[in-house]
């Protein structure tokens, strides 16, 4: 059994004393390179048993201080409040552990200051990599890391100074729009343009999706009204407000919509409910994002699910094998049709 109340944690010196040997022998055994040091197998066994009994845990701070590589990998992520980022984090943790890395993840709530604050903190912990997910200012994080000789990498939103892995937003949005337009035409009996809502106009993903949205309309020879592109931000209330304002200004709102994230969809759904605008006929929707409940919410919704496993495979491929700093990898998203 272990000490009742350990005032001080067990060290390799304690173990060495108990085993009647030296700290270096203990270290070698515990690190598994004792055949290299040709340590007696009975000694090795004794040390292992003792460590077990004492509940010994290596002091990583000391170990890492001495080593050259920390094997720590950091990720910053904007929010934990949707399935997309949730599965990014979960997959990241898994894949990191699989290759013997210790993942540390922190959430920066879309705040640029917090982003660099978090990155700085990670640098203090000697991370070997920083993955910036959906960062508002990824290049700033890259600069900060580069100054300490730490590599970084962008996920979800691209940067210009480090390799980036993102969804193929243009192609995904174009195909999603095409599907929704067809759906809509089938229902209405005639062609009709959609409303685009959600996201930040300034971010790369949103602007690519707008381009895809416009391309699909153009291919089907449908004219989009420029003021029907509402890149109002990500928060639910923003979408809600934008729709209210549009309805007020124009007296009506398009019957079909391209919603730029489940977060925005939350606001859109709330507004649809309250406004009573679609009491006679349900809107035709497309959402560039996925959520299991949304799939059940209505029949006329098409969703695009970003391919998180493929995205993270790319991320770790870069970590394992390297990549040009400027490379931009675009992963095709997956289409989900509601049941």
Q: Which residues bind DNA (CB under 7 A)?
A: 8-9, 11-13, 20-25, 27-28, 30-31, 33, 37-40, 43, 58-59, 62-63, 65-67
- Exactly one of 236, 254, 256, 333 binds its own copies (CB under 8 A); that residue is 236
The CB-of-216 to its own copies minimum distance in angstroms stands at 26
The CB-of-66 to its own copies minimum distance in angstroms stands at 9
Mark residues 63-92: x for contact with its own copies by CB under 8 A, - for none: -xx----x--------xxxxx-xxx-xx--
- Give me the residues paired with residue 155 across strands: 133, 165
Beta-carbon contacts of residue 29 (< 8 Å; ≥ 6 apart): 39, 43, 44, 47, 48
Q: How many CB atoms sit inside 10 A of residue 302's CB?
A: 22
Q: Is 109 in the site for its own copies (CB under 8 A)?
A: yes
The CB-of-17 to DNA minimum distance in angstroms stands at 11
Side by side, the strands of the sheet bearing 256-259 are 229-230, 195-197, 256-259, 284-287, 301-305, 334-337
Sheet strands (E) in 164-211: 164-167, 195-197, 199-200
* DSSP assigned state of 227: G
Tokens of 293: 């409940």
Q: How many CB atoms sit inside 10 A of residue 2's CB?
A: 10
Selection from DNA, its own copies, none that 13 binds (CB < 5 to 8 A by kind) is DNA
Q: Which is nearer to DNA, 21 or 192 (CB)?
A: 21
Residues that bind its own copies in the complex, under the rule CB under 8 A: 2, 5-7, 9, 55, 57-62, 64-65, 70, 79-83, 85-87, 89-90, 93, 102-107, 109, 120-121, 123-126, 144, 147-149, 236, 262, 265-266, 269-270, 273-274, 291-294, 296-297, 339
């Amino acid at each position: 059994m272990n000490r009742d109340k350990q005032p001080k944690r067990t060290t390799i010196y304690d173990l060495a004393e108990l085993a009647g040997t030296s700290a270096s022998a203990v270290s070698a055994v515990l690190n598994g390179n004792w055949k290299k040091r040709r340590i007696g197998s009975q000694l090795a066994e004794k040390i292992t048993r003792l460590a077990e009994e004492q509940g010994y845990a290596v002091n990583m701070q000391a170990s890492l201080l001495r080593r050259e590589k920390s094997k720590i990998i950091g990720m910053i992520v904007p929010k934990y409040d949707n399935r997309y980022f949730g599965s990014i984090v979960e997959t990241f943790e898994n894949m990191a552990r699989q290759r013997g890395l210790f993942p540390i993840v922190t959430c920066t709530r879309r705040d640029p200051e917090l982003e660099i604050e978090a990155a700085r903190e990670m640098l203090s912990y000697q991370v070997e990599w920083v993955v910036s997910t959906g960062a508002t200012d990824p290049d700033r994080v890259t600069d900060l890391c580069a100054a300490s000789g730490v590599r970084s990498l962008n996920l979800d939103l691209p940067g210009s100074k480090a390799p980036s892995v993102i969804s193929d937003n243009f192609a995904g949005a174009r195909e999603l729009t095409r599907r929704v337009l067809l759906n809509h035409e089938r229902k209405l009996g005639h062609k009709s343009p959609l409303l685009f809502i959600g996201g930040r106009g300034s971010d790369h993903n949103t602007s690519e999706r707008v381009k895809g949205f416009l391309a699909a309309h153009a291919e089907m020879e449908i004219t989009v009204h420029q003021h029907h592109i509402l890149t109002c931000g990500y928060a639910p209330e923003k979408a809600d407000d934008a729709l209210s304002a549009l309805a007020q200004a124009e007296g009506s709102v398009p019957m079909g919509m391209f919603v730029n994230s489940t977060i925005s969809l939350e606001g859109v759904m709330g507004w649809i409910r309250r406004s009573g605008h679609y009491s006679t006929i349900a809107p035709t929707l497309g959402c560039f994002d996925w959520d299991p409940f949304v799939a059940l919410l209505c029949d006329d919704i098409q969703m695009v699910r970003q391919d998180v496993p493929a995205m993270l495979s790319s991320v770790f491929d870069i970590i394992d094998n390297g990549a040009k700093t400027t490379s931009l990898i675009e992963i095709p998203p997956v289409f989900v049709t509601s049941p």
